[in-house]
Amino acid sequence: MTAPGFDSLGFPRRARVIKTDDFSSVFNFRKRISGHFLAIHYQQNQLGWPRLGLVVIKKTTRLSVDRNYMKRVLRELFRGQQARVKSLDLIIRVKKTFNSADFPAVEKEFVELLAKLSCQAEQEATKRQVNSELK
């Protein structure tokens, strides 16, 4: 399911976490899942569609060419998987440098982390629903 105004595989500006306050809000929410290459910080949003923010620091790799490659790969992976993600703000932080040789491992990890995230989000939604029914 895509939100109105989104083409099925596009990555428009409104699908991005851009503002510093939004990044801070997600980091302060302190929900995170990690793998070997990636850490995904997440928070529910009220927009009805997922948004993506990327963090690739110089400490990970000094060359901007490498950092841009990693961001391009992650944007493309998200773009292909965004229909599976509920209305969440995702901040993906690169923990370990990867290149084109590592692409299959990064892709597999990304899909696994999103599946795990979807499962956790459903459990949290169920808990909230049960708590609201008890009140």
Which string of b and e fits 36-68 if b means at least 16 CB within 10 Å? ebbebbbbebeeebbbbbbebeeebbeeeeebe
Confidence of residue 7 (pLDDT cuts 50, 70, 90): low
pTM > 0.85: no
Total H helices, total E strands in the chain: 3, 4
Helix H or strand E segment including 91: strand 88-94
Residue 126: pLDDT over 60: yes
CA atoms of 67 and 10, how far apart (whole Å)? 22
Q: Report the CATH fold assignment for 13-134.
A: Ribosomal Protein S5; domain 2 (3.30.230)
The answer, yes or no, to whether residue 43 has pLDDT greater than 80, is yes
Tell which wins on pLDDT, 88 or 132: 88
